[in-house]
Amino acid sequence: MKRILGAMALLMSGTAMAHAEGELFLYNWGNYTSPEMIKKFEEKYGVKVTITDFDSNDTALAKVEAGASGFDLVVPSAGFVGIYAEKGLIQKLDLSKLPNHKNIAPEWMNVEWDPGREWSIPWQWGSTGMSVNVKDYSGDINTSDIFMNPPAELVGKINVIPEMGDVMALATMWAGGEVCSEDPAVMKKVRDALLAAKPKWMSMDYSTVEKMINHDYAATVDWNGSAMRARLGNPDVAYGYPKEGYGLWMDNVVLLADAKNVDNAYLFLDFIMEPENAAALSAFARYANGIAGSDAFMPEDMKAAPEIITPAEFADKGHFVTVCTGKALEYQTAIWTELQK
């Protein structure tokens, strides 16, 4: 409902600005972009922003690659930035047009997928774990067993997000392998366990926040910000950090090579690196951002949130998830496709 209201608000703000100086087309994960921040941007620059949703990196890449997508900016996860660049789908950023580029936090500046941040700007980062309604299940929630080997109380009430990289990383670590394992024994265990678990799941769906709040699901593989938003709407929802290993990720904004509103795109990129605006993104989606100085503007309830502040005992269990290559990717794609049937 909140999302529908948000979309309506966006629509209405769009009509109110029929005389806007320009447009900007943003292709982002669903329910991820702060409408307040967009409104602020639209009012400041007189640019009308149109947001289109996707629900997985692969879907987004396929749509952009098909050509003439009409989007200016896209928000892929870390490992995908290199794939967009390699395929010539994005353009190198002109840093002279981005005075706020210096605000990128040092630890997110020289990242493996984009040293010096010449191709991509940080959007949000977080972890992938388990959201569980503790009324349905009182056992240990800090484990991938929740979806890989579901306890009886949760059978038929579990959702798994449709993002291959995140789910396969959790499953591979659960089976005792590295994130991009090429070990046939590990990957066979992953496949067999996933195929055996799937009949015990209810769905493979992206929109987890409202469904956890409404108690449509008893548990789901989830991202930490979604989990926090679900908890704020329903106090029975708790977030678990799988002790077998959980994923860490960062989503980044990239500028498409065939973008038509390049100037507005630069305005937007610089705008979101303003600490106050980066904090507005976090206040909506409930993930951390990669902008130094945004802490001062962060909402109070995020500063001690168990979804955002990782408990010390699980701090070393998080592994950064990137896109695997070669044999590992072959295994993952084959298993994921089989799983979707």
Partner 1 sequence: MSPAEEAVRRENIKSAWQLSAPALLVLTVAAVGPLLIVLVYSFLTPGTHGNVEWVFSLEGWRGVLFDHDIFEDKLVLADGNLTIFWRSVKLSFITTVLTFIVGFPTAWFIATRSPASRAGWLFLITIPFWTNLLIRTFAINQIIRNEGVLNTLLLKAGLVSAPLQLTYTDTALLIGMVYVYLPLMVLPLFATIDRFDMRLLEAGYDLYASRWQVLRRVILPIIRPGIVAGSILVFVPCLGAYVTPRILGGGKNMMIGNFIELQFGQGKNWPLGAALSVTLLVIVTIALLVYVKAISGERKNG
Residues in contact with partner 1 by the rule CB under 8 A: 56, 58-59, 61-62, 65, 83, 87, 156, 159, 162, 164, 184, 187-188, 191, 198, 201-206, 214-216, 329-331, 333-338, 340-341
Residue whose CB is less far from partner 1, 110 or 340: 340
Minimum distance, C-beta of residue 332 to partner 1, in the bound complex (Å): 10
Looking at the DSSP bridge assignments, the partners of residue 49 are 24
Looking at the DSSP bridge assignments, the partners of residue 90 are 256
Residue whose CB is less far from partner 1, 66 or 304: 66
Residue whose CB is less far from partner 1, 313 or 330: 330
Question: Do the strands 120-133 and 219-223 form a parallel or antiparallel pair, or are they unpaired?
Answer: antiparallel
Q: Are 221 and 111 in contact (CB under 8 A)?
A: no
Of 113, 56, 112, give the one whose Cα is nearest residue 90: 113
Minimum distance, C-beta of residue 30 to partner 1, in the bound complex (Å): 13
Backbone angles phi, psi at 190, to 5 degrees: -60, -50
- 287 vs 302: CA distance, rounded Å: 9
Residue whose CB is less far from partner 1, 187 or 308: 187
CB atoms within 10 A of CB 30: 14
DSSP states of 84-144 = HHHTT-B----GGG-GGGGGB-GGGTEETTEETSSSEEEEEEEEEEEEEETTT--S--SST
Residue whose CB is less far from partner 1, 190 or 273: 190
